């Protein structure tokens, strides 16, 4: 890198270090006010309203979106537009978060008495605890920063990040308080990989037994390879009267070719791994993925069996989970 590029890297690091330091300072300031804020926002039958303006409005939209996706219904309300009709998103009793770096945003001040009249508790995430807004909140979280991260020290950068981080902290605490699970998260994200992992079951993605290479114990290596070529899923299931006995993978075949001299005489029983890891058809894809990946030696295929007698139903591949449309 030339001197100009080195300077750019130095400046970029300074920004990130300033912002990370600001978050650390905010974490060290957390106290009983944070606990009280969580209690106020924990309204299972209602919704949280987040109000802000300018950059605080932008971060407010993000905070509201995070609440929504983590089990706490929320909506963003633009502080200036609220008094011109947008106040309709606010229902009596909705706890409301006020975001203001200055701590004295006039548009937010105009809403205080209105929302008080609607029986709403007010939580402030404010950059200035000496501002007038702090005196009108039920509880205030300190989002102040020693300096902004930009070269001029005036652009909402570190303050923006701290406000967003405090919103994340509130959302996370509410998740813990409500016992919000991965399955719950998937319910609000049905279109993504995570949502698909928990919304779908093994039965939805597995290859049915009719399309899986299935052989008996005395099947020769030649016929085993033919079966695995016809159904190229990376493994063959060794069965007896429909019940799974073992599994032969492509890796098992390669090891046999490398280590055995008389490969033509080999039978499936000599190649198979007995007692392979299996999965039931009603297990979520997310849980199946954990079975495959969270082990000392990752596995790429899972035989699917009945819960009662271990009869083979199909085969699930790691590839099927990450690229389901290619099944």
DSSP label of 220: B
CATH of the domain at 70: 3.40.50.10490
192 is a domain residue: no
What is the tally of structural domains in the chain? 2
134 & 246 share domain: no
Q: Which of 127, 154, 180 is the last residue of a domain?
A: 180
- The reply to whether 176 and 205 lie within a common domain is no
163 CB burial (10 A radius; 0-12, 13-18, 19+): buried
**Pair 157, 72 in one domain:** yes
Do 172 and 250 reside in the same domain of the chain? no
Could you give the C-alpha distances from 299 to 153, 235, 296, in angstroms and in order?
Answer: 52, 11, 9
CATH of the domain at 265: 3.10.580.10
Query: What mean pLDDT do residues 120-138 have?
Result: 96
Average model confidence (pLDDT) across the chain: 92
Beta partners for 74?
48
| End-of-domain residue from the set 180, 206, 221 | 180
Same domain, 28 and 141: yes
274 found inside a domain: yes
Question: What is the pTM assigned to this prediction?
Answer: 0.73
Instruction: Note whether 101 and 7 are same-domain residues.
Output: yes
Question: 33-88 pLDDT, tens per residue?
Answer: 999 999 999 998 889 999 999 999 999 999 999 999 999 999 999 999 998 999 99
Are 241 and 174 members of one domain? no
Q: Look at residue 186 and tell me if it is in a domain.
A: no
Residues 17 and 101 in one domain: yes
Domain around 300:
198-326
pLDDT digits (tens, 9 = 90+) for 196-241: 777 789 999 999 999 999 999 999 999 999 999 999 999 999 999 9
pLDDT tens figures, 143-193:
999 999 999 999 999 999 999 999 999 999 999 999 998 778 877 777 766
List, in sequence order, every residue forming a beta bridge with 243; answer none if it has no partner. Answer: 240, 311
């Amino acid at each position: 890198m030339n001197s100009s590029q080195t300077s750019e890297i130095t400046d970029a690091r300074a920004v990130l270090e300033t912002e990370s330091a600001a978050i650390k300072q905010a974490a060290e300031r957390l106290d009983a006010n944070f606990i009280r804020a969580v209690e106020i926002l924990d309204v299972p039958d209602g919704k949280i309203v987040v109000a802000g303006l300018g950059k605080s409005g932008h971060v407010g939209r993000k905070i509201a979106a995070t609440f929504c996706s983590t089990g706490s219904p929320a909506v963003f309300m633009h502080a200036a537009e609220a008094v011109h009709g947008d106040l309709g998103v606010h229902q009596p009793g909705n706890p409301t978060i006020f975001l203001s770096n200055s701590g004295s945003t006039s548009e937010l001040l105009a809403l205080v008495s209105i929302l008080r009249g609607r029986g709403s508790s007010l939580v402030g995430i404010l950059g200035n605890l000496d501002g007038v807004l702090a005196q009108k909140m039920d509880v205030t979280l300190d989002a102040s920063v020693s300096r902004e991260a930009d070269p001029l020290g005036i652009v909402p950068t570190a303050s923006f990040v701290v406000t967003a981080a405090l919103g994340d902290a509130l959302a996370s605490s509410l998740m813990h308080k409500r016992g919000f699970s991965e399955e719950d998260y998937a319910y609000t994200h049905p279109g993504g990989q995570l949502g698909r992992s928990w919304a779908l079951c093994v039965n939805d993605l597995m290859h049915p037994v009719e399309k899986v290479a299935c052989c008996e114990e005395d099947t020769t290596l030649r016929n085993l390879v033919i079966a695995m070529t016809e159904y190229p899923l990376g493994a063959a299931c060794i069965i007896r009267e429909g019940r799974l006995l073992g599994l032969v993978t492509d890796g098992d075949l390669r090891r046999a070719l490398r280590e055995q001299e008389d490969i033509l005489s080999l039978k499936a029983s000599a190649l198979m791994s007995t007692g392979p890891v299996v999965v039931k058809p009603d297990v979520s894809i997310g849980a199946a993925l954990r079975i495959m990946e969270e082990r000392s030696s990752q596995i790429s295929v899972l035989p699917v069996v009945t819960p009662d007698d271990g009869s083979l139903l199909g085969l699930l591949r790691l590839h099927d989970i990450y690229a389901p449309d290619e099944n």
